[in-house]
Structure 1
Amino acid sequence: ADSLRLYLINSPVVRAESLRFKEEGVKGISKDVLNPWFNAFKFFASQVEIYEQENGVKFQCDESVYSDNLMDRWILAATQTLIETVRTEMKNYKLYQVVPPLVKFIDQLTNWYVRFNRQRLKGVEDVEGIEVEGGLTDTATTLNTNSNSNSTSITNSTSNSTFHALNTLCLVLHSLNLIMASFTPFITEFMFQHLKKYLNLNQESIHFLLIPKPNSNYLNPVIERRVSLMQSVIEMGRNIREKNLISLRYPINSIIICSDNSEILNDLKHLQGYIRSELNCKEIIYSTRPEDYNIEIKAIPNYKILGQRLKQDLKIVKDELEKISSADWKLFLENKKIQIKNHLLTDQDIQVFKYQEKPFEGFDIQFDNNLALLLNTTITPSQKSEGLARDIINLFQRLRKTANLVQTDIVNMQVKILSDPSNSIATAINSHKHLFDKALKGSLSIVDAIPPNHLIKQSYTDPNIELALFK
């Protein structure tokens, strides 16, 4: 029912236009919106349960306390932007413009925030080297508002990183429920009934609550800009890896982030820990000299459009365009406009883009606006070995899931190598014990034969091994 409601709200019907109903559209809403959203809620609920078991306390969400972790601050800021957008569109009776920003936000929540903070939410160490506002440590910030004053004071206190992440996710899920209650009444009611015990709410139904207003304490356009840039870099890196058939489990030596704009590079440095972790690279190099990597700028005017508008001035403008320097074209890429004589030309009139005149040895490249990313595509034997170790870790994690084990279950693991002429499997396991210890709970050993009292056993062909778990 919720999928159908959201499908119709996003359809031409609300614009008084004809609709050719498609069942695939309703399924698409379930797949792209409701399922990921509900999965984020289920993940939160499961991690709260583990948090309470491990810490011996009841989790209680506190709106006055939030983390200085940059990704926490970002998702809270993005939530306020969504609230403002939905309120504006509803006020203007443009319900059909609610779903697109909602789909984008669900993607931000599940594929970026939850994915990047999965370890924190599970109570595992945060990604190393990630800067937060005010330093490199995760601290709580309490907003104490004086009722006799309009000012807000911020008090720092130490707290648990996992609590901060869970607290942030709880606030975001609750805000999302309030925003969407009128559009998806059933799923929001279900989630509200499970979330309200963490929020000290006494209302019998979410439909007794009002749509929230944006909280100015959480607004932060700087962090939103930085994360948007980080996402561009990571997506370019993923594309290059996919193009060159390099799995994300295989580390790469370096990436080079190139931009004429030093402010962009400074923004990205605040999130380099996430970039390094997500792209699995050892080093990030920043450069404001694209020419060092054979990157040039090319401009192609649309003379068909310009001719219709400029008429007899076209030749004058054409001659002037040929005199434009690379520095001016760089400004055009940022400002999307340029003044030629008495005519203002925009990116609708001229297509300006960067390209690589010749390949930079050992690297592949992708462009996105004023950013270029070069990724080292050379994989060394040691990197192959680490990638193989991560592949085996992934197989063990899947085996744990098949055995219905939970995060806190500690089991012993055994590997039987079925075929390994080059001894690469044994080398990968023995050389990367620290990776296995960090990712898996329990002891790992290589054996000649697996005993029959195993909890679960599975054979694989690539790599050619047999894995088993024991209680």
Structure 2
Amino acid sequence: AWLDAGIVHFSTLGWQNPEWVPEGNATGAARAVTHADLPDHAYWEEWFPADWVSEGRAQIRLWFYSQCFMAMALVGRQPYQSVLTYENLLDETGREMHKSWGNAIELNEALDRMGADVMRWLYCEQNPSQELRFGYSLADDVKRRLLTFWNSVSFFVTYANIAGFDPAKPAGELRPLDGWLTSRTSAFVSEATASYERYWTPGVIDAFERFVDDLSNWYIRRSRRRFWDGDETALRVLWEALRTSLQVIAPVMPFLAEQLWRNLVPKEKSVFLEGWPEPGEIDETLNAEVAAVRQVVELGRQARAASRLKLRQPLRRVVVAGADGARSHADEIAEELRVKQVEFGDVEASELRVKPNLPLLGPKLGPALRDVREALARGEFDELDGGRFRVGEHELSPDEVLVERTGKEGWAVASTDGVTVALDTALDPELELEALVLDLIHQINAMRKEQGLELTDRIRITLPPAQTELLRHEDWIKQETLAVEIEIDGASAEPRIAKA
């Protein structure tokens, strides 16, 4: 059997065969089963050696060895340029699959329930050198993550149709956020291409998911008002990013990519007939700045959550330390965290506690660990950049210490990797009123959706007398809800809306 497997790339590809034989492979037991031609030697020269072969690790001493042995014996060359092996496939809990255990999954059943693309994604995102997990709960998680990208395409299509977007028209002058997405897309193409070239699909998946997070949770969300206004440049930049990302991820999820592609380009064109995208110019500085801003915003949200302050409650100020790259983006930070003022500098509103990460520092320091531990407990250390600390003659890296920052009275603090964000949690009547306005805007927009109103429909709002004070921000409410009129009705106990 292994002789047959070892020479398959000779016997089926026409090695030393002087002429092409129609249906020449349909001999013996294969007769009437296949109509495959037997190629000639020129065809074999074109396809030998194979670029890539893949099978389970057990085939190293079986199929791979047989191929290698026979090829070296016959032509003195390796039969393949690259080999990818992978470990055994287990169920999602880590057990072997057996029908008698009730955890085996038939291929057709899996294809029906999770889909071929989700199955491919499950395999591609896992490290092939470790045992692979497979199951429906894992598939549901993949679907949830892919939904973010699906919704991003759906968002674009909705607003592109409203605006009559024409992809043939060139983009106008780019704003800084547009330039960032263009650069970020190029960085994604470059990173994913490098992973493909070394057959490292976990790297492709990781690069794609980080890109989609930036695309959806930063560019689209930060540009919503521009899309509401039909901004051609924002639509063009988003279209380019979506189109390019589909080209890159299509080998992993071909069916979904083709479906979404047909929503973005003329119907007769397939994503698989397009050339591979070339990365454009990458602005590393801008990419790093936005990454720093996103880290600050995430820490700010963590601080809010820890202090049980809802995001719709505006605050007076935030203090940021350790994120110098975000300094030029203070306005974006203020908008995202709903604060009036952003300050960069030392955070004096927090108390710092540092403990040794014993599993790492124990082997490294040996007997000196005791002195370092006691010094940390007394607060006798220097905080360095990048999350490092110095205790006496010892410099400790971020993973060698456990850092805890707690906010002093009236402050909410979060910290990681040398970056600290402190929110001033003190409230005043004006901040509390703005929170009520934001709550009302959220409520009105939910009512619009419940009543099935179109995105462009204008409305009239009726408020109860108890909410009269909110009219101090009447223009703001109108702008955020597409309202043309707001009135007070003494007979009303709850807000009401009606299409204008």
> Shorter-normalised TM-score: what interval?
0.7 to 0.9
**What is the TM-score when the length of structure 1 is the normalising length?**
0.72
Corresponding residue for residue 498 of structure 2: 469
**What secondary structure sits across from 1:249 in the alignment?**
coil
Give the unaligned 5+ runs of structure 1: 53-57, 125-161, 451-463
The alpha-carbon distance between structure 1 residues 368 and 306, as it changes in their structure 2 partners (threshold 3 A), is: closer
Q: State the one-letter code of the partner of 2:123.
A: L
1:180 is matched by which residue type in structure 2? I
Are the aligned partners of 2:458 and 2:499 in contact in 1 as well (CA < 8 Å)?
no
2:349 is aligned, of 275, 293, 309, to 293
The reply to whether residue 5 of structure 1 matches residue 120 of structure 2 is yes
Provide the C-alpha distance between the structure 2 equivalents of 1:21 and 1:406, rounded to a whole number of angstroms.
41
| 1:13-64 residue CA offsets vs partner (Å, 9 max, x unmatched) | xx2764442101111111112x111111111111112222xxxxx522557x
- The equivalent of 1:330 in structure 2 is 383
**Pick from 137, 159, 167: which aligns with 1:24?**
137
- CA-atom RMSD in angstroms: 3.3
Distance 1:17 1:387 in 2: 50
Is contact 1:413–1:470 with CA below 8 Å preserved after alignment? Answer: no
Identity %: 19
Could you tell me how far 1:165 is from its partner in structure 2? 1.0
Displacement of 1:299: 5.2
How far apart, CA to CA, are the structure 1 residues paired with 2:132 and 2:330? 46
Q: Which amino acid aligns with 1:293?
A: A
Partner amino acid for 1:178?
Q
Which of 438, 447, 460 is the matching residue for 2:479? Answer: 438
Deviations, residues 303-325 of structure 1 (Å, cap 9, x unaligned) = 775564566xx5599589969xx
Structure 2 gaps of 5+ residues are 1-115
Aligned to 1:85: 191
Match for residue 277 of structure 1?
335
Whether the 8 Å CA contact 1:258–1:286 is kept in 2: the answer is yes
Q: Structure 2 CA distance, aligned partners of 1:66 and 1:433?
A: 33
The answer to whether the 8 Å contact 1:77/1:220 transfers is yes
Q: Max radius of gyration: which structure?
A: 2
Matched, 1:208 2:315: no
- Supply the distance in 1 between the matched residues of 2:244 and 2:151 (Cα, whole angstroms): 16
Matches within 5 A, 1:142-291: 162-197=231-266, 204-215=269-280, 217=281, 219-259=282-322, 264-265=323-324, 267-287=325-345, 289-290=346-347
C-alpha distance 81-336 of structure 1, shift in aligned 2 (>3 A):
farther
In 2, Cα distance between the equivalents of 1:374 and 1:337? 20
Length-normalised TM-score, structure 2: 0.68
Determine if the alignment matches structure 1 residue 386 to structure 2 residue 428.
no
- Per the TM alignment, residue 345 of structure 1 is displaced from its structure 2 partner at its CA by 6.0
Tell me the matched-pair count.
383
Contact 2:303–2:412 (Cα < 8 Å) also in 1: yes
Preserved contact between residue 382 and residue 389 of structure 2 (Cα < 8 Å): no
CA contact (8 A) 1:317 1:340 kept: no
Point out the more displaced range, 374-383 or 202-211: 202-211
Q: Deviations over 1:277-328 (max 9, x none)?
A: 11111111222x34x43555x65455775564566xx5599589969xx998
Question: In the alignment, what sits opposite 1:42?
Answer: 154
Determine if contact 1:61/1:167 at 8 Å carries over to the other structure. Answer: no
How far apart are the structure 2 equivalents of 1:432 and 1:339?
Answer: 53
Deviations 1:405-442 (A, max 9, x none): 22321222223x2xx7xx4x2212x2211211221222
Aligned residue in 2 for 1:51: 163
> Offset of 1:362 from its aligned partner?
2.1
AA matched with 2:166 = F
In structure 1, how many angstroms separate the alpha carbons of the residues matched to 2:374 and 2:306?
36
For residues 179 and 469 of structure 1, the distance between their equivalents in structure 2, rounded to whole angstroms, comes to: 45
- Are residues 304 and 116 of structure 1, via their aligned partners in 2, closer, same or farther at CA, if it must alter by over 3 Å? closer
CA spacing shift, 1:449–1:253, aligned 2, 3 Å: same
> CA offsets per residue over residues 252-286 of structure 1, 9 Å max, x none?
11111233xxxx33x32321222111111111122
Q: Is the Cα–Cα contact under 8 Å of residues 61 and 171 in structure 1 kept in the other structure?
A: no
- Return the alpha-carbon distance in structure 2 between the equivalents of residues 386 and 208 of structure 1: 52
Classify 1:309/1:446 alpha carbon distance in 2 versus 1 (closer, same or farther; 3 Å): closer
Structure 2 counterpart of 1:40, one-letter code: S
What is the distance in 1 between the residues matched to 2:223 and 2:333? 13
Superimposed CA distance per residue, residues 170-221 of structure 1 (whole angstroms, 9 cap, x where no aligned partner): 0000011100111111222122222224xxxx96311111321211x2x011
Change (3 A) 1:444 1:369: same
Contact 2:119 2:139 in 1 (8 A): yes
Counterpart Cα distance in 1 of 2:118 and 2:428:
48
Paired with 1:31 and 1:195, the residues of 2 have a C-alpha distance of 22
**2-side partners of 1:281 and 1:166: how far apart?**
29
